[in-house]
């Protein structure tokens, strides 16, 4: 297993993994599957995306997006991390997040943040093990399939950029 910066050519593999997360309803409020072309739009040159490969196949990815359009938050990035079903529990998600944190540092970000479903214990444990802190819970943050869901806000500072 190894991590690397993602390339637009990885879009189909990233979409496959992301669509698993959408289908399972445990990691995102999104409900519509994504195509590779939509994933290619994520490659904006300013927000890092990384993948983890094993045997030449992408098995995990982590990406950043803008936290806000306000200039004062330009150093804060939102992130997501997803691992293919068949690769969960093998350390690919941790490897992806470690690579993403490093890439975010190199890109000048001083904080990465996200929201995780409160019941998504595997993600919460992973992030805590990587130095993230749980800031608090947003109650009834949005509906998924008509059901209100709570999310826990997580963040990690990047000291080199403070």
Which domains can be identified in the chain, with CATH numbers? 2-161 (3.40.630.30)
User: Which stretches of the chain are DSSP H helices?
Assistant: 11-24, 36-40, 92-106, 121-129
Banded pLDDT at 2 (limits 50, 70, 90): very high
**Cβ-contact 93, 81 below 8 angstroms:** yes
**Cβ-contact 100, 79 below 8 angstroms:** yes
**pLDDT mean over 93-119:** 98
Please write the tens of the pLDDT for every residue from 42-99. Answer: 999 999 999 999 999 999 999 999 999 999 999 999 999 999 999 999 999 999 999 9
Q: What is the pLDDT of residue 11?
A: 98
Of the candidates 148, 121, 150, 157, the residue with the CA atom closest to the CA atom of residue 136: 150
């Amino acid at each position: 297993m190894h991590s690397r910066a993602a390339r637009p050519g990885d879009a189909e593999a990233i979409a496959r993994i992301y669509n698993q997360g959408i289908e399972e309803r445990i990691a995102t409020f999104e409900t519509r599957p994504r195509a590779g072309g939509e994933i290619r739009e994520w490659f904006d040159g300013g927000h890092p995306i990384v993948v983890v490969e094993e045997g030449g196949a992408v098995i995990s990815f982590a990406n950043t997006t803008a936290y806000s359009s306000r200039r004062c938050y330009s150093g804060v990035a939102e992130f997501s991390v997803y691992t293919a079903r068949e690769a969960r529990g093998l350390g690919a998600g941790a490897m992806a997040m470690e690579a993403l944190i490093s890439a975010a540092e190199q890109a000048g970000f001083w904080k990465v943040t996200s929201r995780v479903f409160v019941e998504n214990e595997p993600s919460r444990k992973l992030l805590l093990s990587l130095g993230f802190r749980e800031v608090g819970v947003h109650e009834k943050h949005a509906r998924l399939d008509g059901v209100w869901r709570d999310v826990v806000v997580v963040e990690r500072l990047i000291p080199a950029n403070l």
